[in-house]
Amino acid sequence: MSDRRLRYFEFWRRDPRRDVDDEIEFHLEARVADLVTKGLSPTEARRQATAEFGDARAVREQALAIDHRILRRGRRTEWWLDVLRDARVSLRSLRRTPTFAVTAVLCAALGIGVTAAILSATYSILIRPLPYADAGRLVAVYGENTVRGYHGSNISWPDYVSWRDNARTFASIGIWTWTTATLSDDASEAERAYGALVSANLFPTLGVRPILGRYFTRDEETPGRDAVVLLSHRLWQRRFASDSAIVGKRIMVDGRANTVVGVMPASFNFPDRGDIWLPFSVTPANEEHGNRGYAGAIGRLKPGYTIEQGTADLHAIDANLEREFPVENRGWRAEVKSMREDLVGDLEQPLKVFVAAVALVLLLVCANLANLMLARGTTRAREMAIRTALGASRRYLTMQLITESLLIAAFGGVLGIGIAWWGVRLLRFAFPDQVPPFFISLTLDAPALGFVAALTLATGILFGTVPALRASRADPSAALREGARGAGGGGSVHRSRLRSALVVAEIAFSAVLLVGAMLLVRSYQNLAATSLGFDEKGILSARVALPEETYSRARTKVFFDELFARLRAEPGVTAVASAQGIPFSGWNVQSETRIEGTPKPKPGEELIAHFQFVSPDYFKAIGVPLVRGRWFTEADHDTLNPVVLVNEQMVKKGFGGADPIGKRVHVGGDKDPTATVVGVVRDFRHYRLPEPMGPAVYFPYALYPSRQQAIVIRTTRADPHTLTTPLRNAMRALDPRLALYQVQTFDEAVATSLWRQRLQGNVLSIFAILAVVLACTGLYGVISYTVAERTREVGVRMALGATRGNVLALVFAQSGRLVVAGIALGLVAAFFATRLLETLLYGIRPTDLTTFFSVPACLAVVALAAALIPARRATKVDPIIAMRAD
């Protein structure tokens, strides 16, 4: 150490210029002296010595340059040695107060980790460019109806063609719609693949090129020339073993040989997932303006045009169409949104809530850190005073305090980065399939992490350094005289008030978060507890699609009847049925419906009902009871005079609550037949929560055996999934080229549909718990500190006859004031803050009274429990020792 001290002074106090001058001067003088002894006159000697030496300036400059380098290096080494020494001293000092050190480090780590994770996720989802070329100019186009108030509706081919050919603000517009197809060949098992029918210009519009082969051509949009297919990278790798010669080969798609024309890149997907793309081929003569059966369009705006301008452009075209086709196009126009909004629109609101919540958590963390540091700074004021009195320089003390704060910051930071990294990974599992969609790459965002870390560290350093330094600047003797009461300087009262204010703020923040979390959790519970109207336990469902080429309507019926018979023979199976789409699967076809004998409704007031074809046992299998009339039977297959079941909503909205049995309804277009109602079934949720239930009409599937059906098996087996293999075997025994897809139990389908609500509740609950823990730590710290500070006072009180109860009350009164103030402030803030949640809530108001009452109660109990430990310590004070303590 002493050696280092010396070097320290050596490097900081040296003047290299003087040194080099002295050295050269000494040389010259010595030479002169030598020459004089050899007999030269002093003047002559001096002249010769100078001449011999040569260019003294050059020597001086060279030597100086080297010396400066030496000096810089020396200072650098010195600085690092200082840092190391300070770090060692600080570590030792932190180890003496492990509770403080661990709490502070954890607090910083949690703050940094949680906040950075949420900010990174938000950035990844809402801001990072989508993986398309110049994605900012891409828009999704759907239909909307201003008369009926529809949004996000399908579009028709002729409307699309009008947009494509007349839009001035778009560089290109392509149309697409969903599709699924069964891939079968001799080499591997048949499988059902998701994908889309896309117009030839759609992928060029997105700006993504195939990695192998080519796009579709315009010519391939014609029926008969459309036997081509584009593959996803994933499917190409998995099913075709990355065959580099795949282009030009033929694969079986829905029983038809299609030529592979290309493979898309790995980073690409469309619309949000998909493995195959087929040409969007239509016969224009068959397409009508009113036939809105296609999912949507994707457009690329010309550079410089906004979405608003693009929308106005399309609306002008729509206005012309409405004049030309007043019936088909009444009220219809394009609904244009940015590609990002289309893809992640429903995540935007929850993410905004998360960011707001996480900002609160970050504030709380900073407040808590400040509190911890202040407490420590205050208790150390005396130490600082003593060290100042003993001669420690202020620079040295400052450096040491900063090092201490930095050490906590460094540990907290490293741990925080770990938590953030882990948190981002964990967030992947928040997505319904445990995999985020292709356009979201969840990664830790460095700027977000940097910002959060810097804020946390700055808080720690500021509050860790300033108070102790203020104390050390104050007259050391005053601080020392204050003695055992610990605090230094005159700022003690001011500081304890600041700390109380921080605790009040912390409690207020946690109250806001708790209220928010509780509202979201109860919304989710409300949704989950909603009576679905069917019994979702013990049902396995799966979809089967039969290729059109080989299955006529009659053969389709035979196939399903045979399949059902085989499944009914399985042990544990109590009912087998089918429908076109099961509840919560997203399948929802609706049509205009008219009751026979009622006047034609005014445009915009048509009765729209859900309809589908179901097998006779469908309602029995999913547990929906019959309210009136009779069930379907196998005999209900008269296509000329069909029978239907309706739900209660239909009775209410269509028949004005009157008995509908025997009445006739007409669903769909003029060519579709009119059907007689034979029964009424209980309402049940079909589409998804929280959408309300609507009217529905059910046809017997014998009428129109759909080639794509959802099979529903009710079982007494504990795990319905054990039926998957028997189901697959039964299907393969009938036709080995078929694939089973969307295999899931009913409860899985329901749970998946609620993932966003569950996620909201879970994330906010984690934040709220974190907040409460932090706030309690803060409260605990403040109360412990005051108890320690008032030990002497408590001792005096007890000596004068105060009971333990009195002392406890004294401490609790202080805690109570802080808690009440915090909760009051928090509830006022929550009253305004929860408006942000309004659209995310279900079955609960943002100002729900139960929540606003129960949150303060819980918070108060937890907070006072945190104060109990130091309070009990106060009661254990021995008056004699307390008073003698100083």
Partner 1 sequence: MTRPTDLLQGTLDLLILKTLSWGPAHGYAVARWIEQLTGEVLRIGEGSLYPALHRLEEREWVASSWQLSNTNRRTKVYRLTTKGRHQLRSEAGAWTQFVDAVYKVLKTEEQPA
Structural contact between residues 91 and 407, judged by C-beta atoms closer than 8 angstroms: yes
Cα 579 to Cα 331: distance, rounded to the nearest angstrom: 33
15 forms part of the interface with partner 1 (CB under 8 A): no
Q: How far is the CB of 64 from partner 1 (least distance, A)?
A: 9
Q: Which residue, 36 or 316, is less far from partner 1 as judged by CB?
A: 36
Residue from 30, 484, 569, 828 that binds partner 1 (CB under 8 A)?
30
CA distances from 269 to 203, 220, 341, 343, 631 (A): 10, 21, 17, 12, 44
CA distances from 361 to 89, 110, 120, 127, 365 (A): 32, 9, 15, 22, 6
77 forms part of the interface with partner 1 (CB under 8 A): no
Sign of the C-alpha dihedral computed for residues 511, 512, 518 and 521 taken in this order? negative
Q: How far is the CB of 74 from partner 1 (least distance, A)?
A: 10
Q: Which residue, 31 or 46, is less far from partner 1 as judged by CB?
A: 31
27 forms part of the interface with partner 1 (CB under 8 A): yes
Residue 842 phi, psi (nearest 5): -140, 125
Sign of the C-alpha dihedral computed for residues 860, 866, 870 and 873 taken in this order? positive
26 forms part of the interface with partner 1 (CB under 8 A): yes
Which residues, 6+ apart, have CB-to-CB distance to 8 below 8 Å? 78
What is the maximal distance between C-alpha atoms in the chain? 146
78 forms part of the interface with partner 1 (CB under 8 A): no
29 forms part of the interface with partner 1 (CB under 8 A): yes
Residue from 69, 75, 151, 835 that binds partner 1 (CB under 8 A)?
69
Specify burial of residue 884 (Cβ count, 10 A radius: 0-12, 13-18, 19+).
exposed
Q: Which residue, 23 or 691, is less far from partner 1 as judged by CB?
A: 23
Which residues, 6+ apart, have CB-to-CB distance to 812 below 8 Å? 864, 867, 871
Cα 696 to Cα 700: distance, rounded to the nearest angstrom: 13
Q: How many residues bind partner 1, per CB under 8 A?
A: 24
Residue from 58, 327, 390, 813 that binds partner 1 (CB under 8 A)?
58
9 forms part of the interface with partner 1 (CB under 8 A): no
Cα 307 to Cα 24: distance, rounded to the nearest angstrom: 78
59 forms part of the interface with partner 1 (CB under 8 A): yes
Q: Which residue, 40 or 528, is less far from partner 1 as judged by CB?
A: 40
Which residues, 6+ apart, have CB-to-CB distance to 436 below 8 Å? 428, 442
81 forms part of the interface with partner 1 (CB under 8 A): no
Residue from 6, 41, 62, 878 that binds partner 1 (CB under 8 A)?
62
Q: Which residue, 67 or 747, is less far from partner 1 as judged by CB?
A: 67
54 forms part of the interface with partner 1 (CB under 8 A): yes
Stretch that binds partner 1, among 57-65, 324-332, 792-800, 870-878 (CB under 8 A): 57-65
Q: Which residue, 72 or 494, is less far from partner 1 as judged by CB?
A: 72
Q: How far is the CB of 41 from partner 1 (least distance, A)?
A: 19
Cα–Cα nearest to 686, from 719, 713, 710: 710
52 forms part of the interface with partner 1 (CB under 8 A): yes
Q: Which residue, 51 or 390, is less far from partner 1 as judged by CB?
A: 51
Stretch that binds partner 1, among 67-75, 130-138, 529-537, 610-618 (CB under 8 A): 67-75
Sign of the C-alpha dihedral computed for residues 48, 53, 58 and 63 taken in this order? negative
22 forms part of the interface with partner 1 (CB under 8 A): yes
Q: How far is the CB of 22 from partner 1 (least distance, A)?
A: 5
36 forms part of the interface with partner 1 (CB under 8 A): no
Residue from 6, 66, 426, 569 that binds partner 1 (CB under 8 A)?
66
Cα–Cα nearest to 560, from 704, 696, 742: 704
46 forms part of the interface with partner 1 (CB under 8 A): no
Residue from 40, 63, 455, 626 that binds partner 1 (CB under 8 A)?
63
For 155-166, b where at least 16 C-beta lie within 10 A, e where not — what string? bbbbbbebbbee
Q: Which residue, 49 or 650, is less far from partner 1 as judged by CB?
A: 49
Q: Which residue, 52 or 548, is less far from partner 1 as judged by CB?
A: 52
What H or E segment, with its residue span, contains residue 74? helix 56-96
40 forms part of the interface with partner 1 (CB under 8 A): no
Stretch that binds partner 1, among 21-29, 80-88, 115-123, 471-479 (CB under 8 A): 21-29
Cα–Cα nearest to 159, from 280, 342, 288: 288
Specify burial of residue 101 (Cβ count, 10 A radius: 0-12, 13-18, 19+).
buried
Cα 277 to Cα 533: distance, rounded to the nearest angstrom: 38
Q: Which residue, 33 or 865, is less far from partner 1 as judged by CB?
A: 33
Q: How far is the CB of 42 from partner 1 (least distance, A)?
A: 14
23 forms part of the interface with partner 1 (CB under 8 A): yes
CA distances from 633 to 339, 522, 614 (A): 48, 43, 11
47 forms part of the interface with partner 1 (CB under 8 A): no
Q: Which residue, 14 or 682, is less far from partner 1 as judged by CB?
A: 14
Residues 628-687 that bind partner 1 (CB under 8 A): none
The footprint of partner 1 (CB under 8 A) covers 19, 22-27, 29-31, 33-34, 52-55, 58-59, 62-63, 66-67, 69-70
